[in-house]
Amino acid sequence: MIPAAFDYVRAGSAEEALAALAEHGDEAKLMAGGHSLIPLMRFRLVTPGVVVDVGNIDGDLRGIRVDGDVVRIGALTRHSELEHSTDLAASCPLLAHVASVVGDPSVRHRGTLGGSLAHADPASDLPAAILALGGSLVARGPGGEREIAASDFFTGFLESALAPDELLTEVRVPVSTGGWNYQKFNRRAQDWAIVAVAVSDGGKGVSLVNMGSTPLRATAVEEAVAGGASAAEAAAHAADGTTPPEDLNGDADYRSHLARVLTERALNAAGLA
């Protein structure tokens, strides 16, 4: 399986990447780690005319900086860098942990945080972490930079609020060291989650993986926790308003059941009785 032919542009900077996007318009597709894009291109589900490779851009687009009560992460930071960062483990342990359970080590060496978010797959782990943390994403385009709240970013199946001529440059999450947990349910360690639940700050932020067409915030659970509910009471609302996918791993009822069980476990582990 070999991708359809395309032209290749290696961008040396964010400016070069934006210029290439502007020049090639709809034909162009950004590539960071390529670990979502290349599999899709091999199946020819995606056939860009021009691939703009941003994977070698360094500087501000890569790395983790704790800046007061905000953690700023370059969009091109790889999963394995998040996993091993002592700064991130101290300032936002949920995100460091979630990065460590993505795929297998070889995937984590190549995949990037920005790529995982821009890909907007409801089965992915990192979008759920950023949602539960109440993070935001910084996009740079021809008109300058804008900041998008994670809760406004995921607009549909594999669709995001990013415009085709925009580059994600940074991901921002609050410093968050309150009770947290991530429950990823799958059958083998490297697999995607059948369902997963992320909890931050003792239950203030709760999000769901693979429970709909986008990564989801479990707002009903968050509201119940804010209203003083117990973990069991709040978790009973985990599947409220969701439309879980059906596949070989399970039907919608099974996924709803998993969401409730995993949410209760995650809330308990995050310190809510």
CA separation (Å) from 98 to 25, 26, 58, 79, 156?
34, 33, 24, 9, 22
**Count of C-beta atoms within a 10 Å radius of residue 36:** 21
Of 100-108, 156-164, 207-215, 230-238: span binding other proteins (CB under 8 A): 100-108
CA separation (Å) from 190 to 14, 125, 166, 197, 242?
32, 12, 31, 17, 25
Under the criterion CB under 6 A, does residue 34 sit at the interface with ligand FAD? yes
Rounded Cα–Cα distance for residues 205 and 222 (Å)? 6
Which of residues 104, 147, 246, 247 is near other proteins by CB under 8 A? 104
Which of residues 77, 85, 91, 124 is near ligand FAD by CB under 6 A? 124
Q: What is the dihedral of CA 204, 210, 216, 222, to 10 degrees?
A: -30
**Count of C-beta atoms within a 10 Å radius of residue 38:** 15
Under the criterion CB under 8 A, does residue 2 sit at the interface with other proteins? yes
Binding to ligand FAD, residues 70-99 (CB under 6 A): 75
Rounded Cα–Cα distance for residues 95 and 181 (Å)? 10
User: From residue 24 to residue 63, what is the string marking binding to other proteins with x (rule CB under 8 A)?
Assistant: -------x--xx--xx-xx--------x-x-xx-------
Under the criterion CB under 6 A, does residue 115 sit at the interface with ligand FAD? yes
- 3-state SS track over 90-146: HHCHHHHHHHHCCCCHHHHHHCEHHHHHHHCCCCCCHHHHHHHCCCEEEEEECCEEE
Pairing of strands 28-31, 154-156: unpaired
Binding to ligand FAD, residues 136-175 (CB under 6 A): 162, 167-168
Under the criterion CB under 8 A, does residue 263 sit at the interface with other proteins? no
Judged by beta carbon, residue 109 or residue 257, the one nearer ligand FAD is 109
- Enumerate the β-bridge partners of residue 29: 51
Judged by beta carbon, residue 177 or residue 190, the one nearer ligand FAD is 190
Greatest Cα pair distance, the chain, in angstroms, is 57
Which of residues 33, 74, 212, 250 is near ligand FAD by CB under 6 A? 33
Binding to other proteins, residues 115-144 (CB under 8 A): none
Of 113-121, 215-223, 227-235, 248-256: span binding ligand FAD (CB under 6 A): 113-121
Residues that bind ligand FAD (CB under 6 A): 29-37, 39, 54, 75, 102-103, 107, 111-112, 114-116, 118-119, 124-126, 162, 167-168, 192
Residues that bind other proteins (CB under 8 A): 1-8, 10, 31, 34-35, 38-39, 41-42, 51, 53, 55-56, 80, 84, 103-107, 109-110, 188-190
